[in-house]
Chains A and B, each alone.
Chain A
Amino acid sequence: MNPRPTEPRGTARLAAAALFACTTLALANLPAADFPVGWLLALVLPGAVLGRLPPATSPWRRTLLTMLLQTVALWLALEFAGTLSRPAALACTILPPLAFVTARQQESDGALGLFLSFCVLLVGVILDGVHLPLVFAYGLMACLTLRTTAHLAACRVSRAPHRLVARAHTGPVLASALALALPCLLAAFAVERTIGLLPTPSRSGTSGGSAPADDRGRRRVGLDDSFVLDGGRGALADLHGEQLVRVRTTTGRAVPGDLYLRSGFFAAAGLDRWQIGQLDQSVAPHAESHVLRRPLPDAPVQWLEVERFAGARNFVFAPPGATEIRGLDDLVADDLREWLRQPDRSRLDDYAIGFQRLPAPPADLPLDPRARRLGLLSLPAGLDRAPFEALLDAWHVGTAPQEAIEAIAAGLAHHCRYDRVEPQGPHAHALENFLFADGDRRGYCMHFASAAALMLRLRGIACRIGVGLYGGDADRSEPGARLFGSQHAHAWVEIPFAGRGFVVFDPTPPQERGRRMPSRLDDSGRLDTDPAIAAAGARSPWQALLDFVLQPWLLLVALLLAIGSTLWPTGPARRATAVTPPVARSARRTLARLLRALSAAGHARRAGDTLEMFQRELAAAGRLPPEVRRAFEVYQEVRFGGRPFDQARADELQHGVFTAERMRPAGAEPQPDRTAGQT
């Protein structure tokens, strides 16, 4: 900040550097896919230039220059960096004022810049998840900014000469800021965990907690990719963001609430890991339209408009029964497997997709004969079929697809429970724990889907796991449209029928599909911190200790203890040298007795009144006996006049006390005898 005459230059420079670092870190937290460098420069540079202009420049000149610079910068960005997504465009409105106050460095710019940079940081978190190193660094710099601005404000208020306040102040300020950063980060962590303990109207059930985070600190909502789905082209692993897709119909009708949007599939089965399997990719020949299959005659083709946001870049979402896709310039497809994708660095264009909502296939409709060639009947290597077969027998699962589907769904609903936790148990594989563990067998959509798919394959029914989004939320800004985010991620089973393509079979209980928030605590209250470790069935002692320390309740108690300790009433000050002269102490005690006696007589001294004022008040009320007056004088002589508190003065003061104690309360004076003189 530009140092004023009363500001230490070193601290002012430190404050400017800290604010600049906050701004830089906040900008760095923005996802590069949403905020290309060109756009960032276009939104930041004009404000920064304006902030560095000398204040003496005419306001009109500044305004015109700003408009010119900003217009040119935006035009250049639009020309060379393409369009911005809607959330990014909304967030961009904060960037010019942030750059302006960061560059201007005036008195109140520290706090304002910190607030704006915090907003930008949050935008980055919302769009791209939490990048822990960046957030930690930002917290550190924010502490430094707060500390330095507080120090500068104190210097400004005191208007102390610069040479006085500049003396060795920068070092302690920096040290104290760094010392405060760690408690701040710990407090933020504790508060974040403890807020999750509150019962909320948006969360069903009693269990609380936050969504698990991956190793980048991103929140995983919806489908958990810890049940590894790493087919190399990870269908959902890269889907992050609360708003990924907005879907509307071309006819203006409402988008159905049970819409499945497939973004990928997994065909290669595993007990812990399903993979995508083989793909026959080819570039779509027609730029404007790509036909997936011919529409069937018994259902109309409905068209959906799909608007993708930055988190869904390169993904192409298609509902089951999709027939044709329009509006994507570059498309990579595997028509046989109904797999669609865009290459990297593709434009984030909207597209339209046609689909048919077909009725359930008839019972006699055979499976697609190409299913075996597609690997949809393969089983995991080393699979112990016996327990699975036992379950299938127990559930009376036959080989007819429709009957098998219904029987497996009913069996899973009866045998297992939906919960957003990793299955726990003695077995080595998550799927075995999900199906065969003793007691409470729990899992989420991926476990339901993979268990059902394995069982279907064991009965010779070809299938695969489809992944994508389900349900969505009604878009309040656009009637009929629905918004899908990663919280709507879902997995289901798809069975290829002849002439019908892949038909959805969802074994997850209907009320749990697309459930918004996972819970992290099981019924016993144990924290499910690391699904991979939990699935392995073994936790290291350090991990157990960390789990214990990071319990939200423990953090809440620590937080309350810290605040409570500061509010605990403190004892009196340690007075090594009393301001009151020793000789006056006994006089003060006697005066206190005198004042108490006067208070009992209805003359309490008001706060702020000096003895003289109190004395005048008593005299005005006619309640100042000479003994009391003399006692006051004696006290003043001893206290301020340097006179000794000898026996004579002590007696006079004591006499005043006795007189005051004998005074009747005010208002209780004896009434004059009206009969006097009449006799």
Chain B
Amino acid sequence: MIRFSSKTIRRALTASALALPLLTSASVLAHDGEEGPQPTGVVKERMDAMKGLKDALMAIRGTLGSEETFDQAVVTENAKKISAVAGEPLLALFPQGTNEAPSEALDNIWTDWENFKIKSGLLKTKADALAVAEGLDASKAAFGEMAQSCGGCHKVYRLEKEQ
């Protein structure tokens, strides 16, 4: 029978106590989907641009809750930000074949480029319409249409990630 000295036990406990935060942070990272390769180059630029679009969308959403929260200036400013990224600048972020991990871009972007171009242009049109919409109801309607144009590309050209 093997007997452990109290020193051995203490050492083992210390080691596992030290390892615990490491394990926890690793599992937290895995939940956040941060594991795997980190984006570089144009993939990183693209993901940063998408992050910028998300932030603009949430800024607009934040004001569209009610008449009390509604802020025309916030809507207009963020719609212009989205418009500035949509269309040609967005297309430039998708050079042929740049979909190495962790990119979620699908190959059909490049086999179906003309349609992708049209859809990217549609986002610009819809963002411009939102920038000139006046009042809560009109802004809400224009915001919904613009979001649908985001989804229009995500449905066809994006790898659906696990949630």
* A complexed with B: no
Q: Using CB atoms and an 8 Å cutoff, list the residues of chain B in contact with chain A.
A: none
